[in-house]
Structure 1
Amino acid sequence: MLKKLMKKLVGTKEVTTSKQSLAEIKQGPIPEHVAIIMDGNGRWAKQRGLPRTAGHQSGVESLKEIVECSAKIGIDYITAYTFSTENWKRPQKEVNFLMKLFQQVFEKELDRFNQQGVKVNIIGYKDRLPDSVRKMAEEVMEITADNQTITVNIALDYGGRAEIIEMAKGIAAKVKAEQLSLEEIDESQVAAELYTANQPDPALLIRPGGEERISNFLLWQIAYAELYFSQTCWPDFTAETFIEAIAEFQSRERRFGGLKKGRC
């Protein structure tokens, strides 16, 4: 199973990661929550003379592989940026394809989610999704709600600024209803109104595809996340590539604004 998990063909070259390297990774600090901007699907397809839709389809397979790998090394939460509030500006044909793809993936992978203990959480503006996609998303969340191996947040019609606006409205409503005073508003109150309430903030943000920006993703939650940028397009992002990102995370010193003993 491990060999199958850690293997992916890139052209005619087979790439593998050994059990030893996986074991070594498990000896170091493992980020409890990893956020991923799944970028580069279109560029990957263009490089191969394929339509952009082929890149999105291949990207689904990459996410499945990374989720399996994450569960094996002990990551508890993955948040995957799949469709932003700005992505509605893309050509209607591509948007329609993506909405259909989301629905198909939810339907096709539901049994796998349960077998692997994956809890699926859809974050974003669910009410703007096509009815068929929204209903399937709600069904997947309900059916997988008690799974405990790993939680996968699917950021669908998601924007960090939009989330902060919704958070502000939620807190304002509580203040107006006299359920909360201004003096009681603190970081914990803010976190409780976010889509990721009751989850730890991501310790690591991964962005493949060659771009080095945040793109309106988890603006509050990634305040102290380690950022990892890769030139590899998302469809080529294998379990091996993911483990390289985790190894880089383990090599960094996390101080959260403080100083380690002996450092200036």
Structure 2
Amino acid sequence: MGKRSRKLVSKILGRVWRLFRRWLFLMLSFGPMPEHIAFILDGNRRYAKKKKLKMGAGHNVGFNSLVAVLRYCYELGVKYVTVYAFSIDNFNRKPEEVQGLMALMKEKIDELLEEEDTIVHKFGLRIDFWGRLDLLSESARLAAERAMAATANNTGPVLCVCVAYTSTDEIARAIKKSCSKKREEEAAGARGSIAVADLEKNFDSAHCPDPDILIRTSGETRLSNFLLWQSALTHLQNPRPLWPEFSLRNLIWAILKYQKAHPYLEARRRRLAKKQN
């Protein structure tokens, strides 16, 4: 088969695959669809070890998996995707590994912004970073700030990237901000105590609905200090594939399990809302 013939076959297969995805996603849309899916990207290092790859190569493959999963989510109509990319605790890893991850983060952010055929341009994606950006290397921090500024006016779906993040740190920062604002109000003559709503306004996730589904790959059942406050009524799932192995099939299965649990979750939400009122 010649080069031109192979190109033609590849193009036809690509179209068939896209048509199949559209049909599959249409069938799924007859059930309740998640608005927000959160992922703990677990298993990159184990994947590299399993495949006998050099250090950092697993995270590179993991980024390719992330782009594919984001594309599927946005084609499905999911409006928010949050990923746990790097914990504050991860700074305790070997310095060369941390430096490699910072360099990879900058490289991939630059790719998303500069290449014309990326999901940023196709879907009008807005990128937000949560966490202590001041703890990142200067190049990674500047790249994250550039991504937020460059996509701030985009009106498509939202990608929230948690870096140098833990949930307890987010809560602690929200408490400090709430106390500071309360002191300013008291100085102006206002009175009152700090309420739950005050804290939630100061979370990194303040402009984002709580996740409907939280997926941790590699079969692990720990939240690892991720969205502890926001996941009270979230459907938690722990599929066995390592993150670089996570596929469309796993995503579809996760949504089907969510749809099965949806009536129970909605009933819990209604009861909670009634108590709060």
Percent identity of equivalent pairs: 32
Aligned equivalent of 1:226, options 235, 242, 245:
235
State the shift of 1:258 in Å. Answer: 6.0
Q: Look up the match of 1:205.
A: 214
Distance in 2 (CA, whole Å) between partners of 1:214 and 1:182 is 34
Normalised to the residue count of structure 2, the TM-score between the two structures is 0.84
| 1:221-254 Cα distance to aligned partner (Å, 9 max, x none) | 1111110111100001112211211111111131
Q: 1:82 to 1:6 in 2, by over 3 A?
A: farther
Structure-2 separation of matches of 1:257 and 1:203: 11
Structure 2 gap ranges (5+)? 1-10, 272-277
Q: Which runs of 4+ in 1 moved over 3 A?
A: 3-7, 17-20, 179-183
The residue number in structure 1 matching 2:169 is: 162
For structure 1, which runs of at least 5 residues remain unmatched after alignment?
8-16, 260-264
Residue 171 (str. 1) matches residue 178 (str. 2): yes
Determine which structure has greater relative contact order: mean sequence separation of CA pairs < 8 Å that are 6+ residues apart, divided by chain length. Answer: 1
AA aligned to 1:200 is P
Distance 1:171 1:151 in 2: 26
Aligned to 2:268, which of 212, 234, 256?
256
CA distance in 1, matches of 2:158, 2:270: 30
Any idea what SS the aligned residue of 1:220 has?
A: coil
- Structure 1 residues 156, 5: closer, same or farther in 2, change over 3 A? farther
State TM-score, norm by structure 1.
0.88
**Segment of structure 1 superposing worse, 228-237 or 41-50:** 41-50
Query: Corresponding residue for 1:134?
Result: 141
Q: Is 1:96 the counterpart of 2:103 in the alignment?
A: no
- SS in structure 2 opposite 1:163? helix
- For 2:39 and 2:145, the matched residues in 1 are separated by 22
Which one has a bigger Cα radius of gyration?
A: 2
Q: Does the 8 A contact of 2:214 with 2:237 survive in 1?
A: yes
- Whole-Å Cα distance in 2 between the matches of residues 158 and 249 of structure 1? 26
Provide closer, same or farther for how the CA distance between residues 181 and 39 of structure 1 changes in structure 2, counting only shifts above 3 A: farther
| Matched residues, number | 249
CA separation in 2, counterparts of 1:199 and 1:153?
Answer: 9
Q: How does 1:73-88 map to 2 (within 5 A)?
A: 73-88=76-91
1:121–1:18 Cα change, 3 Å:
closer
Q: Is the 8 A contact 1:5 1:68 kept in 2?
A: no
1:123, 1:258 → 2: CA distance? Answer: 29
State the alpha-carbon separation in 2 of the partners of residues 115 and 127 from structure 1: 30
> Which of 98, 111, 123 is equivalent to 1:116?
123
| Shift in alpha-carbon separation, 1:251–1:147, aligned structure 2, 3 A | same
d(CA) in 1 for partners of 2:87 and 2:62? 16
3-state DSSP of counterpart to 1:178: helix
